[in-house]
């Protein structure tokens, strides 16, 4: 099987690195580089670390969270499930009875960021350090170069013509036949700085939001900026690229059934990431149906609906919903099995342990 990737930068070289690594001798991967990689900084979500481990690369600087406006969204876990119920229900109850600390006071990642500390996530589930997680701040051009080296080493070829191929990947970053989402997303996010390993964003980047009607058209499959544009410089864009490419490696959509499935799953994934972009900085007057449902469910009782093909984990949704002012009318009634005093004491104890743990982490 022959696959030709046409495009530039991280879109092209992440695709090439993943496909060449997975295919070995089974497929020939050619890359036609159309332009030098763009400069700038990229944000990667924690899930990118798993891909880097498979590719055998260590790049970028750790990031502990995101700041949209005044609100901090730490990576990693916030609090812990208790009696099978998500932590934020206990916090909501305590808050209604006078608790003043914000939710992120129970995030070790956030506390470590505030104290200028850092440690990698622990694999031992009993350690508070297992609740840590971090994303990455990447230099776009250097990252593309690293991925290019990985891809070429794994057997991808650089070409300057357009050889025959069974599948062509459009990694040009150029929009195609766009479904227009600009009413929901008139602008995109823009990285304005990084402080204490927290990336801060403004929401004034010019954007022509939308997605291609079909990710695969004929023998051409679009990835990255050529597939969709939601202005998610906060890690959403790069994560969508990552999941699209893994889906591409898993499906190699050449027959009609595989093409249909690729298009269906990719549209879902893009739309779920879009929903988060709208929630964070978009227009919420008449949100897409799935997002409206999600907001309604959270407003009613703090429940987070997770659909198939989500980009952001449940914890990110909790922070983002609260940040946008979506406040649950009540918490899960099952938290009331525990007496209020006991819940308060438990929250106090957890907070103290996290504070001490963060204090004991190495500086740097």
Q: Does 265 bind another protein (CB under 8 A)?
A: yes
* Binding-residue pattern over the window 311 to 330 for another protein, x denoting contact by CB under 8 A: ------------------xx
Q: Does 198 bind another protein (CB under 8 A)?
A: no
Beta-carbon contacts of 289 under 8 Å, excluding residues fewer than 6 positions away, are none
Token pair recorded at residue 347: 């929250």
- Rounded Cα distance between 134 and 136, Å, is 7
CB of 214 to another protein, least distance (A): 16
Q: Does 283 bind another protein (CB under 8 A)?
A: no
User: Which of 244, 173, 256 lies closest to 217, judged by CA?
Assistant: 256
Q: Does 154 bind another protein (CB under 8 A)?
A: no
Q: Does 55 bind another protein (CB under 8 A)?
A: no
Q: Pick the binder of another protein from 66, 251, 320, 322 (CB under 8 A).
A: 251
Q: Pick the binder of another protein from 141, 261, 304, 313 (CB under 8 A).
A: 261
Q: Does 99 bind another protein (CB under 8 A)?
A: no
Q: Does 337 bind another protein (CB under 8 A)?
A: yes
Q: Pick the binder of another protein from 88, 93, 148, 324 (CB under 8 A).
A: 93
Binding region for another protein (CB under 8 A) out of 143-151, 168-176, 274-282, 289-297: 289-297
- Tracing tokens 């997605």 back to the chain, one arrives at 211
Beta-carbon contacts of 48 under 8 Å, excluding residues fewer than 6 positions away, are 135, 136, 238, 239, 242
To the nearest 10 degrees (0 to 180), the angle between helices 47-55 and 236-251 is 50
* C-alpha dihedral (270, 321, 76, 12), degrees to nearest 10: 20
Q: Does 2 bind another protein (CB under 8 A)?
A: no
Q: Does 41 bind another protein (CB under 8 A)?
A: no
CB closer to another protein, 23 vs 108: 23
CB count, 10 Å around CB of 312? 23
CB closer to another protein, 21 vs 37: 21
Q: Does 273 bind another protein (CB under 8 A)?
A: no
Q: Pick the binder of another protein from 192, 246, 342, 356 (CB under 8 A).
A: 246
Q: Pick the binder of another protein from 61, 101, 260, 283 (CB under 8 A).
A: 260
Token pair recorded at residue 119: 């440690």
- Rounded Cα distance between 86 and 306, Å, is 13
Q: Does 296 bind another protein (CB under 8 A)?
A: yes
- Rounded Cα distance between 321 and 306, Å, is 13
Q: State the DSSP string of 22-75.
A: HHTTS-EEEEEE-SPPPPSEEEE-THHHHHHHHHT---SEEE-EEEETTEEEES
Binding region for another protein (CB under 8 A) out of 58-66, 141-149, 258-266, 343-351: 258-266
- Rounded Cα distance between 311 and 269, Å, is 7
Give me the residues that bind another protein (CB under 8 A), please. 1, 22-27, 54, 84, 92-93, 96, 246, 249-252, 255-258, 260-261, 264-265, 293, 296-297, 299-301, 303, 305-306, 308, 329-334, 336-337
């Amino acid at each position: 099987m022959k696959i030709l990737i046409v495009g530039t930068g991280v879109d092209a070289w992440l695709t090439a690195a993943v496909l060449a690594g997975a295919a070995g001798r089974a497929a020939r991967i050619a890359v036609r580089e159309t332009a030098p990689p763009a400069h700038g900084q990229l944000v990667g979500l924690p899930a990118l670390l798993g891909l880097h481990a498979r590719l055998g690369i260590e790049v970028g600087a750790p990031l502990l969270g995101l700041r949209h406006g005044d609100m901090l969204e730490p990576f990693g876990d916030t609090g812990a499930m208790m009696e099978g119920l998500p932590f934020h229900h206990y916090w909501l109850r305590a808050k209604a009875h006078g608790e003043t600390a914000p939710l992120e006071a129970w995030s070790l990642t956030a506390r470590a960021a505030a104290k200028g500390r850092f440690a990698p996530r622990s694999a031992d589930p009993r350690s508070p350090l297992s609740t840590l997680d971090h994303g990455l701040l990447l230099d776009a051009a250097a990252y593309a170069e690293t991925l290019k080296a990985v891809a070429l080493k794994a057997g991808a070829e650089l070409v300057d013509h357009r050889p025959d191929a069974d599948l062509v990947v459009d990694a040009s970053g150029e929009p195609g036949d766009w479904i227009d989402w600009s009413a929901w997303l008139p602008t995109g996010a823009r990285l304005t700085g990084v402080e204490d390993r927290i990336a801060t964003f403004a929401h004034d980047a010019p954007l022509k939001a939308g997605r291609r009607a079909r990710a695969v058209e004929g023998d051409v499959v679009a990835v990255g900026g050529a597939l969709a544009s939601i202005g998610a410089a906060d890690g959403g864009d790069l994560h969508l690229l990552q999941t699209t490419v893994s889906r591409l490696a898993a499906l190699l959509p050449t027959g009609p059934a595989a093409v249909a499935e690729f298009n269906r799953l990719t549209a879902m994934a893009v739309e779920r990431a879009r929903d988060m972009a709208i929630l964070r900085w978009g227009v919420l007057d008449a949100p897409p149906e799935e997002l409206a449902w999600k907001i309604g469910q959270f407003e009613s009782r703090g429940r987070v609906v997770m659909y198939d093909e989500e980009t952001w984990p449940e914890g990110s949704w909790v922070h983002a919903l609260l940040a946008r002012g979506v406040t649950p009318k009540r918490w899960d009634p099952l938290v009331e099995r525990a007496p209020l005093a006991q819940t308060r004491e438990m929250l106090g104890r957890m907070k103290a342990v996290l504070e001490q743990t963060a204090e004991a982490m190495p500086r740097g």
